[in-house]
Amino acid sequence: MAGSEMGVTQAKAETVTDAGRKPDPCIVVIFGASGDLTKRKLLPALYHLDQQNLLPENFSVVGVARRDLSKTFAPDMKDGILKGGGVEENEEKLGKFVEKIEYFATNFDDDAGFEKLKAFLAEQDGKSGTKGNRLFYLAVAPEFFADIVERLGKHGMTKPAEGAENGAWVRFIIEKPFGTDLDSAIKLNKDINAVLGEDQIFRIDHYLGKEAVQNIPVLRFANGMFEPLWNRDYIDNVQITAAESIGIEGRGPFYEQAGALRDVLQNHVMEVLSFVAMEPPDSFESSAVRVEKLKVWKAIEAVPLENTARGQYGPGKVDGQDAIGYRQEDRVNPESQTETYAAMKLSIDNWRWAGVPFYIRAAKRLTERVTEVVITFKKAPLDLFGAPGKSQIEQNVLTLRIQPDDGIKLQFGNKVPGPVTDIKQVKMEFSYAAEFGKSSANGYERLLLDAMLGDGTLFAEGAGVEATWKLMTPILEAWKAQQKEFPNYAAGTWGPDEGAELLGRDGREWKVS
Ligand code: BG6
């Protein structure tokens, strides 16, 4: 079935409005503002919010970085907004928004610079009526997170300034990676919590900004028909794939330290998994949701090495173009042991999921870009329409496609029209683009808005980050202790044999829709 024929016609009428969700007047202060993220994602997202009238009237953005960009910053951001696409070509509106963008240069270890920043922000409050409310966004390399927070604390910027109105707030969005293993995550939490309350901290995972990820709990808990089947009695296995066809795109030094497990599996994929596996929370409030997500991560059994697979791409062809191998990438060790493919089989030891394998994988330079959750149901108990040697039943498959072409597909057996009972697998499909039109949002809109509103539901909490690192760190250590013959897959393929064997051993294979 094409487009949105899965009975979603009411969805438009039922869209919950965001009325009343307008944040307080505030300044968004972006540290690391000269980086790509600010121009490509953050400013376009803020402008999208502005266009939807979701920003406060009294609002300003202050970019902070080391270089003096005071002349070029605002025009550069305007350019980023226009290139980001999806904006109405309205010079007046855009011009008005760009007027709210300021820039401040300081080194991150310069006390005098921080003191001046404090005065600069206070001056902005006076000019823009932002009332002392601050959302600091740390879009800097992770080694600066704790120092910046500490220095802001030292200069009295982590709490509302004296004389600020009651209810004034200071919040922090912290980019990933949040730690590189369990010890570093614990240390980072400790350092940051020494200055900030947990309710001030918003650890961002941009996957939680994706519509199709936010829709997972909606699909499960806003519909009556899925939840009764969402357990070990009906589900055979769950797969989560985060496949990319791109390589490391010039980020050699970063990726050499990261690898696929740290870069995507430990955070993005584990966030998605928690939404798929969690129990219904008693409300959709941040604290209730976080408790349920944490329970899932804690219930995952330690992963034996044989339930993991890793790989590194060699030269190959992607989309018909020659692609170099990982070890030939710029600023990558020619004998690198860094994995560009990571997969594992997880067991969630709780009542709902006992015995249901969760297979997860993340990788660069695979055949195509696809992120999805594939839920395969158990077969019907009896092959009523089969004949000897010819089974007519297959497993139903529900696919939650996160990107590209986000949507949902349900595969089931259907009688082929004609005088005999032949059964063919068909798909019912819901497509976001077909139903709601193509969206120009980049996912940061919702997260920035929620942080301005103080809603941490779609952000990681300290304990959750530690729980996922606790699970992943022993795997990283075991991998480090065991050298691998790399490369073990060609760019443009579906990864190494050992990735396929992880499921092959269980009589299954990876599925993408
Ligand atoms: C980032 C990783 O967190 O997520 C990148 O550092 C990866 O390596 C990216 O490419 C994937 O995000 P998306 O939204 O393109 O799936």
Measured CA distances, 148 to 78, 113, 172, 307 (Å): 27, 12, 11, 39
88: its two tokens: 């109405």
Percentage of residues in the chain having pLDDT higher than 70: 96
Q: Measuring CA to CA, which residue among 50, 52, 112, 54 is closest to residue 77?
A: 50
What is the distance in A from the centroid of ligand 1 to the CA of 254? Answer: 13
Q: Is the CB of 263 under 6 A from ligand 1?
A: yes
Q: Is 50 in the pocket of ligand 1 (CB under 6 A)?
A: no
Average pLDDT over residues 444-460: 96
What are the two backbone dihedrals, phi and then psi, of residue 400, each rounded to the nearest 5 degrees?
-105, 100
More confident residue, 54 or 16: 54
CB atoms within 10 A of CB 243: 22
Question: Per-residue pLDDT for 283 more than 50?
Answer: yes
Residue 268 DSSP code: I
Does the pLDDT of residue 246 top 60, yes or no?
yes
423-431 and 407-415: which strand pairing?
antiparallel
Ligand 1 atom 8: residue of nearest CA: 263
C-beta of residue 361 within 8 angstroms of C-beta of residue 346 = no
Sorted by sequence, the CB contacts under 8 Å of residue 224 that are 6+ apart come out as none
In sequence order, what are the beta bridge partners of 239? 359, 374
Tell me what the pLDDT averaged over the chain comes to: 94
CA dist., res. 225 & res. 504, Å (int): 31
Residue 289, pLDDT score: 97
* Alpha-carbon span 453 to 135, nearest angstrom: 10
Hunting for tokens 């329970």 — which residue is that?
295
Q: Residue 371 and residue 414: Cα distance in Å, rounded?
A: 27
pLDDT digits (tens, 9 = 90+) for 64-116: 999 999 999 999 999 999 988 777 778 888 999 999 999 999 999 999 999 99
**Does 14 have pLDDT greater than 70?**
no
- C-alpha 177/C-alpha 203 separation (Å) is 9
Closest atom of ligand 1 relative to the 206 alpha carbon: 14
pLDDT above 60 (res 454): yes
- The predicted-structure confidence for 354-389, as pLDDT tens digits, reads as follows 999 999 999 999 999 999 999 999 999 999 999 888
Q: Which DSSP symbol is given to 488?
A: -
What distance in angstroms lies between residue 264's CA and the mean position of ligand 1's atoms?
Answer: 7
Q: Residue 19 has what pLDDT?
A: 52
Chain centre distance of CA 194: 27
Whole-model pTM? 0.93
Q: Which value, in Å, is the radius of gyration of the alpha carbons in the chain?
A: 24
**CA 139 to centroid of ligand 1, rounded, Å:** 15
Q: Once rounded to an integer, what is the mean pLDDT over residues 486-493?
A: 98
Cα 14 to middle of ligand 1, angstroms: 32
pLDDT digits (tens, 9 = 90+) for 428-443: 999 999 999 988 889 9
Tell which atom from ligand 1 comes closest to the C-alpha of 244: 10
Maximum Cα–Cα distance across the chain: 85
**Quick check: 120 pLDDT over 50?**
yes
The pLDDT of residue 303 is 98
Taking the centre of ligand 1 as the mean of its atom positions, its distance from the CA of residue 268, in whole angstroms, is 9
Q: Torsion angle, CA of 332/337/340/345, rounded to 10 degrees?
A: -170
Best residue among 178, 206, 246, 369 to mutate for probing ligand 1's pocket (most ligand atoms within 8 Å of CB) is: 206
Tokens of 418: 């004609």
Ligand 1 contact via 329 beta carbon (within 6 Å): no
Kindly give, in sequence order, each residue whose CB lies less than 8 Å from that of residue 214, ignoring residues fewer than 6 positions away. Answer: 208, 446, 458
Backbone angles phi, psi at 359, to 5 degrees: -100, 125
Please confirm, yes or no, whether 268 is among the known catalytic residues: yes
Check 48, 155, 206, 268 and give the catalytic one. 268
Distance CA 264, CA 342 (A): 9
Task: Measure Cα distances from 39 to 35, 42, 84, 210, 246 in Å.
Answer: 7, 6, 9, 19, 21
Q: Which residues, in sequence order, are bridge partners of residue 321?
A: 318
**d(C-alpha 395, C-alpha 410), whole Å:** 11
Give the CA dihedral 494, 496, 500, 502, nearest 10 degrees.
-140
Assign 19 to helix, strand or coil: coil
- In this prediction, residue 5 has a pLDDT band, given cuts at 50, 70 and 90, of very low
User: Could you give the CA distance from residue 227 to residue 232 in angstroms, rounded to a whole number?
Assistant: 12
Task: Please give the span between the terminal C-alpha atoms of the chain, in angstroms, as a whole number.
Answer: 14
Alpha helices in 286-355 (DSSP H): 286-299
Closest Cα to atom 2, ligand 1: which residue? 263
Q: What is the pLDDT of residues 139-196, one digit of tens each?
A: 999 999 999 999 999 999 999 987 788 889 999 999 999 999 999 999 999 999 999 9
